[in-house]
Amino acid sequence: MDVIALSAWDLGIAAALVCVLSLLSLFLSLGLEWKILIFSCRMTAQLLFIGIVLRFLFASGSLPIVLLMATVMLFAAGREVLARQNLRLKGITGYAIGTGAMFVSSFSVSLIALLVIIGVDPWYTPQYAIPLLGMLLGNTMTGVSLALDRLTDQFYKERGGVEQRLLLGQTWQEASSDIRKECMRTGMIPIINSMAAAGLVSLPGMMTGQILGGTPPMEAVKYQILIIFLIAAGTGFGVISAIWMSGHYLFDNRHRLCLERLSGSRIRKR
Q: How far apart are CA 90 and CA 95, in angstroms?
A: 9
Last residue of a domain, one of 10, 33, 60: 60
Q: Are strands 262-263 and 88-89 parallel, antiparallel or unpaired?
A: antiparallel
Residue 213's contacts (CB-CB under 8 Å, 6 or more residues apart) are: 3
Q: How far apart are CA 197 and CA 1, in angstroms?
A: 28
Please report which confidence band the pLDDT of residue 1 belongs to, taking 50, 70 and 90 as the band edges: low
Query: What pLDDT is attached to residue 241?
Result: 93
Of residues 44 and 85, the one with the higher pLDDT is 44
Q: How far apart are CA 71 and CA 75, in angstroms?
A: 6
Q: Nearest CA to 110 among 51, 66, 80? A: 66
Judgement on whether residues 56 and 190 belong to the same structural domain of the protein: no
Judgement on whether residues 196 and 263 belong to the same structural domain of the protein: yes
Please report which confidence band the pLDDT of residue 195 belongs to, taking 50, 70 and 90 as the band edges: confident
Query: What pLDDT is attached to residue 154?
Result: 92
Judgement on whether residues 262 and 158 belong to the same structural domain of the protein: yes
Judgement on whether residues 255 and 188 belong to the same structural domain of the protein: yes
Judgement on whether residues 44 and 135 belong to the same structural domain of the protein: no
Q: Which domain holds residue 195?
A: 62-269
Judgement on whether residues 132 and 9 belong to the same structural domain of the protein: no
Residue 216's contacts (CB-CB under 8 Å, 6 or more residues apart) are: none
Average pLDDT for 210-237 = 83
Convert the pLDDT of each residue in 114-173 to its tens digit: 999 888 888 888 888 888 898 899 889 999 999 999 999 999 998 899 999 999 889 999
Q: Nearest CA to 81 among 151, 154, 146? A: 146
Judgement on whether residues 53 and 128 belong to the same structural domain of the protein: no
Query: What pLDDT is attached to residue 62?
Result: 84
Average pLDDT for 227-234 = 90
Q: Is the pLDDT of residue 113 over 60?
A: yes
Q: Is the pLDDT of residue 37 over 90?
A: yes
Q: Are 141 and 81 in contact (CB under 8 A)?
A: yes
Judgement on whether residues 48 and 114 belong to the same structural domain of the protein: no
